Amino acid sequence: MDRISYDPRGVMIHETGLSPHDLERLAPSLDRARTEFLEQDLPLYNKGGKVPAEKQPLDAGFFELPERLLAEHKEKGDKSELGRILATAKRLQKSVDRIVLLGIGGSYMGAKALFDACCHPYHNELSRTKRNGLPRLSFEGNNVDNDAVAGLLDILDVGPASKPEGRWGIIVISKSGGTLETASGFRIFLTALRASVGDDPKKMAERIVAVCGKGGKLDELQQALGCPESYEVPDGVGGRFSILSAVGLLPAAVVGIDIVKLLEGAADMNRRFREAPFAENPVLQYVAVCQGLERRRGINIRVLSVWSKALESLGLWYDQLLAESIGKDFIGATPLTCVNTRDLHSRAQQHQEGTRDKLMTNVILKSLKRDPIALGSSELDQDQLNQLSEKTLPQIMEAAIAGTNQAYNEAGRPTADITLPGADEASLGQFLQMMMLATTIEGRVMGINPFGQPGVEAYKKNMTAILQG
Ligand code: PA5
């Protein structure tokens, strides 16, 4: 498997960045955090854990998911969780032309990241044939935006449909089962689905798959609807850490993403995290750079510059992961996703000359899915591009990345590069696991529990009181 790499050389800037010595100084505490993380009660690696209960993270179950799901699949095939997910995906692919995914936060951002990174950039606009019969995927239940909901309802067939082209279904995801945005969306889209299947309860139930916590309101509702299949968000796996459970895997599999490769990528990152020494460990190096710059230079804005439009949602997934995990106790860096070169024309001015509070981490694709497009020559050379006629878009992108890093370096602005072999499943699996591990380790060295999001409750409480008052 081609591995992703992390290169922090761009942070080695005299006076405004770090020195190799600064990183080495953080090595012992990060190594300790890794050992502690690996020694907690993790059923696959370490039964019975040595870490005292009060220091155990609450929801570290994400760590073992890749290996656990892959091993179970090997052993039990179709009867395993992964086997069931693949079978449900196949059934949905055959029976519907669009899935409406209802979920918010960790219950949708991972699926959106995978969809945007791995699928055709205009997947939903392609004909069914060009999509190889794979369903379209639309996201709702992630807001209470009336016109957005009405807009999606406009394009759904809500009359009895005989052709696959008119059929649609719902994947509804909520761990708690009680999130208002998702529950409201479900109620509204359920009414539309009922109309679409001519009020046939069996047909309706077959078009719905819930992924939820056991025994919650959503679980009760899907049982009352008689849905033949549902999935559980595993215990000990928090929302924003759940992308490699059914939460992210089911929608990904429905749109043809190879979820086995995704898990294999994540398992490979687990191996590197467990085995590689500090200097070669992408997770520990990443945390050392982030923490080093924060502690020594007060740099607490984390810009994730993704150099591909396909990776924007992946950046937003990381925004949530970092913000909700370590933004606690009046501390925690602020994440910001930029899509370059697009945002060089909106944010780069500030990054180049504004406050010295930013680390720019580039996410770069080593290979692309499509053949390079050259500019070509033209009889009309008013734009003076004939001199670059043989240059391709990837070459221009490469020059933009190097030129931007150089400009930041000359201005004393730290940068680091994460290079993905491609926007493919194995690379994404590695990246996702790297970031979830890094966030967990960073929380530990900061003395913050990265799991849970108690601060989100305040708005919910107020909103409910206002609605009921
Ligand atoms: O990371 C988290 O736990 C949150 O972002 C949740 O995913 C989000 O609040 C949605 O919660 P639920 O899945 O319970 O509807």
Give per-residue pLDDT as tens, 301-319.
999 999 999 999 999 999 9
**pLDDT at residue 42 in the model:** 74
**pLDDT at residue 454 in the model:** 87
Using pLDDT thresholds of 50, 70 and 90, give the confidence band for residue 47: low
User: Which residue out of 62, 107, 449 has the highest number of ligand 1 atoms within 8 Å of its CB and is therefore the one to mutate?
Assistant: 107
Residue of higher predicted confidence among 45 and 326: 326
Residues 6+ apart with CB under 8 A from 150: none
230: pLDDT strictly greater than 90 = yes
388: pLDDT strictly greater than 90 = yes
The 10s digit of each residue's pLDDT in 172-210 is: 999 999 999 999 999 999 999 999 999 999 999 999 999
The 10s digit of each residue's pLDDT in 96-114 is: 999 999 999 999 999 999 9
Whole-angstrom distance, CA of residue 432 vs CA of residue 114: 10
Q: Which of 324, 351, 358, 425 is labelled catalytic? A: 324
**How many beta carbons lie within 10 A of that of residue 52, not counting itself?**
9
162: pLDDT strictly greater than 80 = no
Residue of higher predicted confidence among 25 and 56: 25
Q: What is the pTM of this model?
A: 0.96
239 touches ligand 1 (CB under 6 Å): yes
What's at 206, amino acid-wise? E
Residues 6+ apart with CB under 8 A from 98: 124, 135, 136, 137, 138, 156, 167, 168, 169
Cα 326 to middle of ligand 1, angstroms: 15
179 touches ligand 1 (CB under 6 Å): yes
16 touches ligand 1 (CB under 6 Å): no
Mean pLDDT of 435-462: 92
Cα distances (Å, whole numbers) of residue 111 to 122, 170, 224, 229, 432:
16, 14, 26, 19, 12
> Quick check: is 345 catalytic?
yes
Whose Cα sits closest to atom 9 in ligand 1?
105
Mean pLDDT of 49-74: 85
> Is the separation of the CB atoms in 301 and 293 below 8 Å?
no
Cα 432 to middle of ligand 1, angstroms: 17
> Quick check: is 460 catalytic?
yes
Using pLDDT thresholds of 50, 70 and 90, give the confidence band for residue 235: confident
150: pLDDT strictly greater than 80 = yes
161: pLDDT strictly greater than 70 = no
182 touches ligand 1 (CB under 6 Å): yes
Whose Cα sits closest to atom 2 in ligand 1?
239
Cα 71 to middle of ligand 1, angstroms: 27
